[in-house]
Amino acid sequence: MNQEIIKCFNDLLGEEKVRISEPMNRHTTFRIGGPADYFLLPSTAEEVKKILEICKEKELPYFILGNGSNLLVSDEGYCGVIIQLYRNYGGITVEGTNIRAGAGALLSQIASAAKNASLTGFEFAGGIPGTLGGAVVMNAGAYGGEMKNVLKEVTVMTEQGEIMTIPAEKLEMGYRTSLVKKAGYLVLEAVISLKAGDVEEIKAIMKDLTEKRVSKQPLEYPSAGSTFKRPEGYFAGKLIMDAGLRGYQVGGAQVSEKHCGFVINKGNATAADVCGLMKDVQEKVQEQFGVTLEPEVKFLGEF
């Protein structure tokens, strides 16, 4: 590692917020991934801006990480800077019927804050295992709800370090996409607009969705959630099951027997195992049904 770069980051953040050669399997829900050269934990927008300036000056690639719930990091790791906006960047404030939260706040924490304030409309997100920043970028959704239905505005930073607040109607949110994703903006915080509701009804909805999730999804194994996007007119999990791939395994990676839309880490799976399995699944589904499955999982590093 470059000692001059390490010193720059240490001077900016303090040594406790700078990690060198950090194993990424500690930071993804897949529990897979080699080391990242530099792993940084900023807690203010000013620190993020300065990190981007250093990356630009030193020509270092960087990646913004939440809790790594939709990410497969290569076995070789990542040659560059990981900027993690997670617990260190996850404040949540209730403002009337709105909730303002930092990019690193977990959706489950925001749903809990909404429930405690008797606010309804965010129940769908309570079981999505991601952060607000990632959910905004990909317009996360579940059980009929989507982020685009509840967002009021999003504050972002451009690659040049400029901070802008964008109203929801200008976010161009579609299925697993948004203006934020297309433009490569970095989410700093968002305001979610909800409605006053009955706390007991909110609790009942959240309990029902949790039970559905637990009964249908392989939550007992590390995974990145739904592995493939939903192809138009189909369900990825059903296509995979109909192709006879339930339980199909490559190394430590397996198509879940409980829900074929999930690839799970059955034990010591490598990124190469997961990639090989995904490729096999794509080929079989294409061959049998003529449908192209697109990964929903993001890939980081050399594959």
Q: Residue 260 gets which letter from DSSP?
A: T
The answer to whether 102 and 113 have CB atoms below 8 angstroms apart is no
What gap in Å lies between CA 298 and CA 71, rounded to an integer?
Answer: 5
53, 76, 172, 296: which one is catalytic?
Answer: 296
Q: Which two tokens stand for residue 158?
A: 């451009």
CB proximity list for 96: less than 8 A, separation 6 or greater: none
**Catalytic residue from among 153, 176, 178, 223:** 176
- Catalytic residue flag (residue 226): yes
**Of residues 69, 74, 226, 256, which has the active-site annotation?**
226
- Can 296 be counted among the known catalytic residues? yes
- Distance of alpha carbon 161 from alpha carbon 54, whole angstroms: 11
Cα(228)–Cα(235) distance, integer angstroms? 9
Q: What would you measure as the largest C-alpha separation in the chain, in angstroms? A: 57
Q: Is 176 a catalytic residue?
A: yes
DSSP result, 138-151:
TT-EETTEEGGGTE
Catalytic residues: 176, 226, 296
